[in-house]
Structure 1
Amino acid sequence: MEFICRKLGLVAAPKLITKPAIHSWRQPLRVLRQPRQWNSAVRTAASSSEIPAIQLRDYQEECIQAVITHVGEGHKRLGISLATGSGKTVIFTQLIGRIPPRNTLGNKTLIIVHRRELVEQAYRHCRLAYPNHTVEIEMGNRVASGYSDITIASIRSLTSGDRLSKFDPQRFKLVLVDEAHHIVAPTYRTALAHFGLGEKSADSPILVGVSATFSRFDGLKLGAAIDQIVYHKDYTDMINDNWLANAMFTTVRSEADLTRVRNDKFGDFALGSLSKAVNTTKSNDITVRAWLANAVDRKSTLVFCVDIEHTKQLTDTFRRYGIDARYITATTPKVERDGQLHKFRDREYPVLLNCGLFTEGTDIPNVDCVLLARPTRSRNLLIQMIGRGLRLYPGKKDCHIIDMVATLDTGVISTPTLFGLHPDEVLKDATAENLKEKNFAANQDSPAAKEPPPSSEVESDLSEIKLTFTKYDTIYDLIHDMKSEKHIRSFSNNAWVRIGDNKYILSEGSGWLTVEHRDYPDEGSTQYSVHHVVVFKSAEGTKQYSRPRLIASVDDLETAVRAADTFASTHFKALYISTRQPWRNYTASDSQIRFLNAAKIREGNIQQGDLTRGQAADLIIKLRFGSKKRFAAKRKQRAKYDERIHHIQELRRRGEVKVGPVEA
């Protein structure tokens, strides 16, 4: 029991008191029959001394109180944003006992998840927390009665056939959704509509969705199911409070060519196409050599691959180097999968490879290295993969995240772009204090603070392959080492152009979209707003512009861009806004060159072959929307920087001592 409590992140405290299930006399007689033994769990014989003592962490109690407060104010559809490893399921189970019945019948709870591992995890938690309640599972051939106190259901089974119909919405007080970033998928929408939660309603259960990555790739849709986020605690908060392990990051250039990789319907890379690009002898060799160079002393490395074939080939590469590496995929038989996972948890072998299995819900706290061998455009997926290594474990100082980055101009989300760095940034060891000082300097107004930083690349020549990587020692270093410009195209396929220190524009003949950032120091918050302006002709034939219309207002740049891109996909022509259009690679036209030279944005004239047509178009947009002064300031700043570097180099040259004649 002590082991179970430790797994849940719980410590000793006063005993938890739960009420036995109460059934109405109006309930059909069939509910009085004991459900199938393999599906129902009731521990009515448990004495109070057998019930584990539970004390919530401070933030867990804060989170629960935030939910209760909003419920008391009449809110029904709530979201909780918590980092992986924060004990979301513990909060789930505690909410069950804290939310009062909604009516004389409505005292039941439904927990909806989307993976088998999450179903079983929630089942174990509920059994532990509520030994006197009936707990049933709706998944596969395990069929719930519809009348248990707590039902844990996989979303696929719940919405299959007529299985949803047996759950009477009036009998439920609470619907909990784990990994709630999936909540606007059609299956979830079907389930929520059944319980009257498809839209705001006074006559519905309480809905609470929990996720570590509370955003959608398109940036717009979560509001269809969640009305407001009531609590947020991210990775940095958790690490700072010592609830999660720290992380150090290394990026390694895999040299994989992603330029021809297709997108799937969600905007991420299509797996089959991605596998062909990544699963090559060279890339796999670089991946294993990068691990040998950076993490050979790590005891438990979890590797994320693209697909089954990539998993097998990369495993073989590890083994050719004499490393005991094993793999698990969705096709691995359950008994074998559980056995391999058990041995990995016991550190019987150092490297476990998988594809698509352990991004959510799996608790492997001993992981002290995560190797990201699959590129992605999904910020959520990247955070989920990194989160697998941040749980605390005895003797574990931190988790080393090794990110195999490819051609970043194709929109890959990597650890640099995740935390606001240039997509070509390569990371290697730097202390937290050094980088915090660097971040402080970057935010000062002095010219020196705004100088372009020198390259921090480190090369390691292992045999015939040269690896290029850079590290940060802590997650704080990575987050706080911010460049002066967010590289917006690392997570958008559209031709966003920066026209101000905090403003970006996506322009087309019919109008434009802007994403603008503002800080509110008094409130300690940041806001990104998306506005749309329409271009039209007046009755006299002159060009007119509409007032900017607010499209979205969010807390982070990526979500703002996703929202704007989703809007643009239905209002703008891809021919003019997509960075993937062939015309952007053509040589700049004569008219573009004439326009740019007339603007005098550089010393001397721009020649025909200096720019592509896309680059010229971006520069023209910058000029038309007021960036000429910024060009001049940047040019002046760069000249000062070059002069300073030249002076330093001259001093170094003078200080060199060489065998031979001394210069006069």
Structure 2
Amino acid sequence: MVFRLRSYQRKTIDNVLNSMRQGHKRIIVQQPPRTGKTVIMAEIARKATDKGNRVMFIIHRKEVLVQAKATFRKQDVNMNLATLGMVQTLTRRVNKLDEPQLILIDEAHHAISNSYRRIIDAFPNAYILYFTATPIRTGHDQLDQIADDIIVGKSIKWLTQHHFLAPFHYYGLGDIDRSKLRKAHGDYSSDSMNEAISRQIYGHIVDQYQRLAKGKQAVVYCHSIASAKEVTKKFHEAGITAEEIDGGTDKKVRDKLVQQFRDQQLTILVNVNLFTEGVDLPNVDCVIMARPTSSLALYLQFSMRCLNPRKGKTAIIIDHVDNFLNFGLPNNDRNWSEAIITKNKRKAKSNTDNGPAIAQCNYCFGTFYRDQITDGCCPLCGHELKKENKDYKIVNVDLQEIKENQAVKHRKQMVNKILEDQVMANVADKTPGQLTTLKELQAYAKLHNYSPGWAWYQFKNRRKH
């Protein structure tokens, strides 16, 4: 039985066909993560093979290839006219391949590399569709060098409003000194991530999961195998079922653990560089980011992993490394038509648009658009936000780089830590009845290992009397 296409998927296919009729042959097709790019490609491939045209599908990950083959078969693609393979294999065999009339490239933000270009250049008469959620690269050269048109899909906000994606709450917790991050090969280096990430993050991940998403199935993104194993250990110590998998995990073990997660026999999957592109994990309700990235593509793959919709679901995104400072929230509107243009060709703009202002509540650490504030209260926890008391902060976001002076920010964090320690010293010999402010109650709770909710409960009760 073939897939029943959604309205926005049919619209995308119509837009692609119209672009072809207008004479475009190399077209970028932008679709957000979790919106069924493979189904769209399979339907386009079915239409092509029904007319006797040969189709080639290219991807760079084996797991995605396996899923794509299954989807193409289910969509009644004539597999005798279809070549599906990994770019690493096809680029070596390019001289032996049957000439396709249509080439479909998945995760096409990679397609500017030599291995893809070798295939593209070998078939100059073929129509080429570059499918990607994020048609932007971290380097200088952009996709305008290999494409002549772009079809932009529905926005994440539209998809959420029409129930094709789940709504979410986003929390930024800042267990990182971002001033220490350094780039290498298009993203932050492993050494700099080791240096930047607080050692306290491992315990914080479990604490904040229990505070914000207790009982929800979650995927944790870590930057190293050592950190992933430490996070898994902390979940075990808290009595929560969790397993760690990475590129070195035996395939049979990996497949078994993923299936256990799908069957809801496992609560937490901790991974290193695995669950980014394509892999189907439909029942994720929470994402925990413990890995910083300078790649918008990775950020959206991380943060949107939990947005598969379900009636009544609100996903939870917990960002321990403040990736939102680079990219805003996942549902920021983004100018993809501008993003595909190589930087020195872009039109100069007198006013840089960094997207809508983002606010962060200093009590629950919730992160949201400023226009979501209702009656002066945090939309996530309901706490009254008083600007003069700095109960929330405004974050300026830029898609390409952090504009905020991170060294200054780090010094502020150190000062706040010193002040927090002083408060703890002041409350050490007091009883709860002698405490008057929320900060004193929070310091007392921290000192005596009380749950975070204890301070809130005490403070709210006192305000009522």
Class of the TM-score when normalised by the shorter of the 2 chains: 0.7 to 0.9
Whole-Å Cα distance in 1 between the matches of residues 33 and 388 of structure 2?
Answer: 33
- Where does 1:256-655 land on structure 2 (aligned, <5 Å)? 256-266=176-186, 268-278=187-197, 280=199, 282-298=200-216, 300-393=217-310, 397-405=313-321, 412-413=326-327, 415=329, 420-421=356-357, 428=365, 435=372, 455-456=390-391, 486-488=396-398, 491-492=400-401
Distance 1:217 1:415, change over 3 A: same
- For residues 228 and 47 of structure 2, what CA distance do their matches in structure 1 show? 44
- Hey, what's the Cα distance between the residues in 1 that align with 2:274 and 2:320? 19
C-alpha separation in 1, matches of 2:358 and 2:370: 21
What is the letter of the counterpart of residue 235 of structure 1? Answer: I
Contact 2:242 2:270 in 1 (8 A): yes
Over the matched positions of the two proteins, sequence identity in percent amounts to 27
Superposed, which structure 2 residues align to 1:2-81 within 5 Å? 52-81=1-30
TM-aligned CA distance change 1:416 to 1:85, over 3 Å = closer
Distance 2:152 2:48 in 1: 17
Task: Measure the CA separation in 2 of the matches of 1:378 and 1:428.
Answer: 23
Alpha-carbon offset, residue 286 of structure 1: 1.7
Q: How far is 1:188 from its partner? A: 1.6
1:167 counterpart (82, 91, 97): 97
Letter in 2 for 1:181: H
* Counterpart position of 1:127: 73
Residue pair 1:416, 1:425 contacting (<8 A) in 2 also: no
In structure 2, relative to structure 1, the CA distance for the partners of 1:317 and 1:342 (3 Å cut) is same
Kept in 2: contact 1:178–1:211 (CA 8 A)? yes
* C-alpha contact (below 8 Å) 1:213/1:384 kept by paired residues: no
CA distance in 1, matches of 2:9, 2:47: 13
Residue aligning to 1:156: 88
TM-aligned CA distance change 1:53 to 1:277, over 3 Å: closer
Say whether the 8 Å CA contact 1:259–1:407 is kept in structure 2. Answer: no
Question: C-alpha deviations, 1:545-566, integer Å up to 9, x for none?
Answer: xxxxxxxxxxxxxxxxxxxxxx
After superposition, the Cα gap between the structure-2 partners of 1:415 and 1:66, relative to the gap in structure 1 and judged at 3 Å, is closer
- Which residue in 2 is equivalent to 1:195? 123
Amino acid at match of 1:397: K
Deviation at 1:261, TM superposition (A): 3.3
Structure 1 residues 242 and 309, CA gap change in structure 2 (3 angstroms): same
Relative to structure 1, is the Cα distance of residues 262 and 166 closer, same or farther in structure 2, using a 3 angstrom cutoff?
same
Q: CA deviation at 1:253?
A: 2.4
Cα 1:369–1:97 shift into 2, 3 Å: same
1:16-40 deviations in Å (ceiling 9; x for gaps): xxxxxxxxxxxxxxxxxxxxxxxxx
The one of 112, 120, 126 equivalent to 1:205 is 126
Structure 2, unaligned runs of 5 or more:
333-354, 377-385, 409-462
Q: How big is the shift at 1:405?
A: 2.9
Residue type of the partner of 1:98?
K
In 1, Cα distance between the equivalents of 2:49 and 2:30? 23
Distance 1:86 1:245 in 2: 11
Where 1:253 maps in the other structure, the secondary structure is coil
Q: Which residue of 2 aligns with 1:110?
A: 56
| In 1: Cα distance, 2:86 partner to 2:145 partner | 21
Alpha-carbon distance between aligned partners in 2 of 1:494 and 1:433, rounded to the nearest angstrom:
19
CA shift in 2, pair 1:155/1:337, >3 Å: same
Q: How far 1:332 moved relative to its partner?
A: 0.7
**Cα 1:167/1:227, change in 2 over 3 Å:** same
Q: How many residues align?
A: 378
SS in 1 for 2:135: coil
Q: CA deviation at 1:454?
A: 5.9
Q: Distance in 2 between matches of 1:303 and 1:250?
A: 14
2: CA distance between counterparts of 1:57 and 1:406?
34
Equivalent position of 2:107 in the other structure: 179
Structure 1 residues 414 and 291: alpha-carbon distance in aligned structure 2, compared to 1, 3 A threshold: farther
Per-residue deviation, 1:234 = 2.4
Equivalent residue, structure 1, for 2:383? none
- C-alpha separation between the residues in 1 aligned to 2:312 and 2:263? 14
Is 2:11 the partner of 1:91? no
Kindly state the Cα deviation for residue 330 of structure 1 after the two structures are TM-superposed.
0.8
**Runs of 5+ unmatched residues, structure 1:** 1-51, 135-147, 197-203, 440-450, 458-469, 471-482, 496-578, 585-656, 658-664
Offset of 1:219 from its aligned partner? Answer: 6.3
CA distance in 2, matches of 1:233, 1:57: 12
Distance 1:53 1:416 in 2: 31
The CA distance in 2 between the partners of 1:80 and 1:278, in whole Å, is: 36
Contact 1:414 1:423 in 2 (8 A): no
Distance 1:118 1:215 in 2: 21
Shift of residue 98, structure 1, vs aligned partner: 2.6
SS of the aligned residue for 2:13 comes to helix
Q: Distance in 2 between matches of 1:355 and 1:453?
A: 41
Q: Give me the TM-score of the superposition, normalised by structure 2.
A: 0.73
**In 2, distance between residues paired with 1:271 and 1:89?**
32
Give how far 1:108 is off.
0.7
1:55 partner letter: R
Cα distance in 2 for partners of 1:224, 1:101 equals 31
8 A contact 2:106–2:131 mirrored in 1: yes
**Contact (CA 8 Å) 2:229, 2:244: kept in 1 or not?**
yes
Q: Which amino acid is 1:334 matched to? A: K
Pick closer, same or farther for the CA change 1:194–1:372 going to 2, 3 Å: same
* Pairwise CA distance, 1:322: 2.0
Instruction: Indicate whether 1:225 and 2:169 are aligned.
Output: no
Q: TM-score, normalised by structure 1?
A: 0.52
1:440-480 Cα shifts (integer Å, max 9, x gaps): xxxxxxxxxxx9686345xxxxxxxxxxxx9xxxxxxxxxx
Q: Post-superposition shift, 1:259? A: 2.8
Question: Displacement of 1:421 after TM fit?
Answer: 4.1
What amino acid sits opposite 1:265 in the alignment?
Answer: H
* Residue 165 (structure 2) aligns with: 244
Question: How big is the shift at 1:293?
Answer: 1.5
> What CA distance in whole angstroms lies between the structure 1 residues aligned with 2:248 and 2:198?
19
